[in-house]
Structure 1
């Protein structure tokens, strides 16, 4: 409780010190009908109200340097040290999504702090801000269960969270930029005390736009180190994407993500790849959204499963100046072609119905 009070005090102080304070909240009613798990047993349906996103974005200036922060208001981890069983607690790492200070020098911008990592492409920003109804396998999207009361299917190698480090960005032209990041390793512990914190994660990213921003693109490649006490891991995170506006009010995102994890001791490699396309078309107060994904998952050089998934949604903004958006979505995630440790499992399809709202507003105006 004392930690939460301190965090609340810091947040209140920050709202007075920062020039921009944006609150982002998305809350959903999520219904998942019963379905058959990969082992053939039935998984009971669920009906839940879920706080999808609750975050403060703070920006301010110190001279010509920019301070940028994202603070999670609801993001918990299970603390197993509590008597009587694990309880949800808020930690500093979960509370601070990112917190950086950036200083420009000619065409360069230098950044330090807990950084937004250049992995996961357009989609990663979208699901952090509650703007997607289907998260890809490579970005941590979860499918149906492999056993009736067992583990949900997920990628063997997913994009890492934000990490502490430094970065240098160079603006080639107003439409083209590159950035190099040097951060802690991807499985770094928050106390930075254990012996596994011995290498760094490095990444290079490029962003560009063409034809008066009708085509926007990015390319990112990150090398991660995930050492454990017994063995080393070499991780890579590749992302490539295009955002195309072929006509007014229509945007189409096409992205490819490939994550790998090679274990040095066993010389085996796990891999998770996702290819997906999303289209949005604005028609006054209505915004239809369609997304489709194809993904593969491999564990220790062996095929694990494949995924076909889609989402269709309708967003409604009754007033353009209103801070509220309402949405309804239908998502279907099919995992198939199980192999390796899951060989013999049946195809499993998990359907999800989502109804909710999103609020975005500057709370200091």
Structure 2
């Protein structure tokens, strides 16, 4: 960490990287005991976790714009998962792709901006950006949010597999590719992206063979504001492939987000995500679907910011086989939090939140497919500082 900060300070002194920002969110997360879908109790956890730890280096090289972000450390202990998104521990299996959140160079030509490198994908709407920067306490299922532990293979007991309940089709993360953005007016912008296929380089657990990078993912995004930015609209449609050595997969991701700001201190985000995957194998095909609807409201009262968020999600398309206990399921979740910013011009924010995630209507052959309700208490702070000043 110290070496990275020294490097950042050195870059900050140069004209090439005039913007050097450190972003850290650290939490204490307590999860009380709860039951799986088969009625088995899952022990509670008590965890200190750096939910976000990222260094940003932005600047210019000649006429080109360069922006980058670097994940500084693991999010969770070994064999654990992030309590919000289910991402696995990073430091034990650190790769360049995991370390580099995004890194791209861009060139402006009139009203166009062309980029190449590892891009911030436009899927996921406003919520994806909030989750990246640690500004939410509940992540929807479509954006890789997880629920409680779910038994997906029941009998015999040695074959039992327990995983976090999660999306059949989740929005893709940042990926390498190219993009072209066109600014129609100050308030209306279009961007087309082409990046690597989702799940690129997947390894088959049975054969050890890698996936074949035979396709790409294509997306078109519109971002516009109306009525003096009282209304902000973010629309995205992305299609692509996730071909593996086992089956062909045709993916589509749709996001429609509306931000309403009726007054200076109040914002309400309403977002809908509709993700699909047509999986073809052995002459048959299965359509997997994940959709999420979220509403999040924030109101600033002299530095105190109450936050309320509600989620409705659904997974559908699974076909449980013999001895498999789970199939389609629905999710209702909510989070209530309070943020406190002592001084608007300072870098620290403090927060406390209560989150409840309920997976229900779990389908399958087992009579023990009961609801799963996982609750979390989060207490922490966020720091965002400009190291170039």
Provide, for residues 218-245 of structure 1, a one-character-per-residue CA deviation record: whole Å limited to 9, x for no partner: 1101112100123211011110000000
The residue that corresponds to 1:21 in the other structure is 20
Query: CA shift at 1:340, angstroms?
Result: 3.2
The residue that corresponds to 1:111 in the other structure is 115
The CA distance in 2 between the partners of 1:39 and 1:79, in whole Å, is 26
Aligned-partner SS, 1:340: coil
Aligned-partner SS, 1:94: helix
The CA distance in 2 between the partners of 1:300 and 1:140, in whole Å, is 18
Aligned-partner SS, 2:354: strand
Matched, 1:154 2:166: yes
Structure 1 353/268 Cα, relative in aligned 2: closer, same or farther at 3 Å? same
> Does the 8 Å CA contact 1:133/1:331 hold for their aligned counterparts?
yes
Aligned residues: 356
The CA distance in 2 between the partners of 1:93 and 1:6, in whole Å, is 20
Query: CA shift at 1:7, angstroms?
Result: 7.2
The CA distance in 1 between the partners of 2:213 and 2:75, in whole Å, is 24
| Range with bigger deviation, 13-22 or 33-42 | 13-22
Structure 1 19/342 Cα, relative in aligned 2: closer, same or farther at 3 Å? farther
> Does the 8 Å CA contact 1:270/1:301 hold for their aligned counterparts?
no
The CA distance in 2 between the partners of 1:286 and 1:135, in whole Å, is 22
Matched, 1:253 2:278: no
The residue that corresponds to 2:303 in the other structure is 285
The residue that corresponds to 1:61 in the other structure is 60
> Does the 8 Å CA contact 2:315/2:328 hold for their aligned counterparts?
yes
Q: TM-score with structure 2 length normalisation?
A: 0.86
Structure 1 184/316 Cα, relative in aligned 2: closer, same or farther at 3 Å? same
Provide, for residues 81-126 of structure 1, a one-character-per-residue CA deviation record: whole Å limited to 9, x for no partner: xxxxx98132111110000011111111100000000111000000
- Pick from 173, 187, 193 the counterpart of residue 185 of structure 2: 173
Query: CA shift at 1:5, angstroms?
Result: 10
The residue that corresponds to 2:292 in the other structure is 274
| Range with bigger deviation, 148-157 or 208-217 | 148-157
Aligned-partner SS, 2:98: helix
Which stretches of structure 1, 4 residues or more, deviate above 2 A after TM superposition?
Answer: 4-17, 75-80, 299-303, 340-344
Provide, for residues 251-297 of structure 1, a one-character-per-residue CA deviation record: whole Å limited to 9, x for no partner: 00000011111112231111111000000000011000000000001
The CA distance in 2 between the partners of 1:43 and 1:335, in whole Å, is 15
Q: Provide structure 2 residue ranges, at least 5 long, that are not aligned to the other structure.
A: 80-89, 152-159, 204-208, 321-326
Structure 1 342/71 Cα, relative in aligned 2: closer, same or farther at 3 Å? farther
Provide, for residues 290-347 of structure 1, a one-character-per-residue CA deviation record: whole Å limited to 9, x for no partner: 0000000124468610000000000001111110000000000000000136664111
The residue that corresponds to 1:323 in the other structure is 347
- Pick from 195, 202, 218 the counterpart of residue 183 of structure 1: 195
Aligned-partner SS, 2:128: helix
Aligned-partner SS, 2:253: strand
- Pick from 113, 132, 138 the counterpart of residue 134 of structure 1: 138
Query: CA shift at 1:57, angstroms?
Result: 1.2
The residue that corresponds to 1:44 in the other structure is 43
The residue that corresponds to 2:83 in the other structure is none
Structure 1 79/133 Cα, relative in aligned 2: closer, same or farther at 3 Å? closer
